[in-house]
């Protein structure tokens, strides 16, 4: 028998079996709960150091926990149905605000000079609508 199996049997016996040596049951229970090594905490601290660098120090505790979980355990496996539900919810959300840098790049890609141009907003809407449709098509093909 392995030592952990012996400790488990000792820990599960009733207390009357240990009248002569009461500390044996206590020690067997303690030995089952003590970690044998510290590799799990060390691995966690190493991952945290890789994720939360001095340059990326503004990561909050929740995001740090999510990133460490992904890094250590891998991506969550989703069923097709759940992935489609998430995608439909994301596509049904209202449009996001465009940052200034992306806005400037988009202007250059659409060959527009100023925001006062009447076709500017229409072109942006068309551009993003085609991108969303492409993403939906690619996502549906991916799930087939």
pLDDT digits (tens, 9 = 90+) for 63-119: 888 888 888 888 777 787 887 887 788 777 777 665 656 556 655 655 544 555 556
Task: Tell me whether residue 64 is exposed, middle or buried, using C-beta atoms within 10 angstroms of its C-beta: 0 to 12, 13 to 18, 19 or more.
Answer: middle
pLDDT digits (tens, 9 = 90+) for 27-54: 777 777 777 777 878 888 888 888 888 8
Q: CA angle, 67 as apex, 65 and 68 as ends, to 5°? A: 65
Predicted TM-score of the model (pTM): 0.36
Q: Are the C-beta atoms of residues 47 and 72 closer than 8 Å to each other?
A: yes
Compute the distance between CA of residue 60 and CA of residue 43 in angstroms, rounded to an integer.
Answer: 20
Tell me the domain boundaries of the chain: 3-33, 39-73, 80-143
């Amino acid at each position: 028998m392995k030592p952990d199996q012996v400790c488990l049997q000792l820990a599960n016996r009733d207390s009357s079996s240990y009248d002569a040596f009461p500390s044996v049951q206590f020690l067997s229970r303690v030995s089952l709960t003590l970690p044998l090594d510290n590799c799990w905490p060390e691995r966690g601290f190493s991952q945290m150091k890789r994720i939360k660098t001095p340059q990326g120090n503004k990561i909050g505790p929740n995001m740090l926990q999510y990133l460490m979980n992904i890094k250590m355990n891998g991506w969550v496996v989703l069923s097709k149905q759940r992935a489609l539900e998430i995608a439909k919810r994301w596509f049904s959300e209202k449009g996001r605000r465009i940052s200034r840098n992306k806005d400037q790049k988009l202007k250059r890609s659409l060959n527009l000079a100023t925001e006062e141009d009447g076709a500017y907003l229409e072109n942006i809407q068309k551009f993003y609508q085609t991108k969303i449709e492409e993403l939906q098509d690619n996502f549906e093909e991916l799930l087939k």
